[in-house]
Amino acid sequence: MILAIVGPTGVGKTRMSVELAKRYNGIIINCDAMQVYKGLDIGTAKIREEEKEGILHYLFDFVDVRDNYTVYDYQKDVRALLDRFADRNIIFVGGTGLYLRAALYDYRFNEEDEKVVDESLSNDELYQLCLQKDPNCSIHKNNRKRMIRFLKRGLEPPVNPVLLYPTIFIGLTTDRDHLYQIINQRVDKMIAEGLIEEAKSFFVQKIYSKALMTGIGYKELYSYFEGKCSLEESIDLIKKNSRHYAKRQYTFFRHQLPVQWFEVNYDHFEKTVAEVDQFIIKTNNKF
């Protein structure tokens, strides 16, 4: 059985994945594009060792931050795991919907320059095309060359994508005001736990990799380190960008995946787990 726990940043996906893994004796596979990188711990809210509760976790914390780990790399790695653990219950958890689609659907990859891009389009128009191709696209709209390259190559979704692996998609949600409150408090907690120091450790090494220059929580602090904004402005921007990212995640999951949504009961999380568990039992019997 394959489960996929999705939803916006901060909603409680990690906690749910561990609870379900304990119930179904499953393994957990990451589908968050930033949590693959070593050292990006606080800013990505990466699961701590003690939080794993003995559950095997894969595709977390294994790529050097200087490297560029692509969705193509993820597809290859995750399908190897799906073959390896074909006899186990597998739980995907994370907020990068494109990674999940590439893993589970019949997505293929084209060579560069195979697609024609109208290079007369404005930067704003190119940027909108990039977001259509990948709602989590982090290329800056002023980086025209990268946008064109991105549109010419990479993931090519089929017209009618076919789910290759029977999967139960579970979405966690809460009302918008509450989610934004959770996100703001989460950023404050990250700062208190040492996010500034974590980001500074890469900055002093003069590491300007894609992960650091596009990752929320890192790119904003780099601007602060470079004297482009105050620390307060940087933190406010992390919160703002996190909220905007949550909105994009909702859009992707609601339109690109057959998700069954569950309102999270934060006061009694076990009730949400039980509700999800009943849905899994009912749905799995249909496969």
Domain 2-107+157-284 annotated CATH 3.20.20.140? no
On whether the pTM is more than 0.85, the answer is no
Provide the 3-class DSSP secondary structure of residue 240. Answer: helix
Lowest mean pLDDT among 53-62, 83-92, 153-162: 153-162
d(CA 86, CA 215): 32
What's the pLDDT tens digit per position in 133-150? 776 677 888 888 888 877
- pLDDT on residue 170: 97
pLDDT exceeds 50 at position 112: no
DSSP 49: G
- The sign of the torsion formed by the CA atoms of 101, 104, 107, 112 equals positive
d(CA 171, CA 174): 10
Domain spans, the chain: 2-107+157-284, 108-156
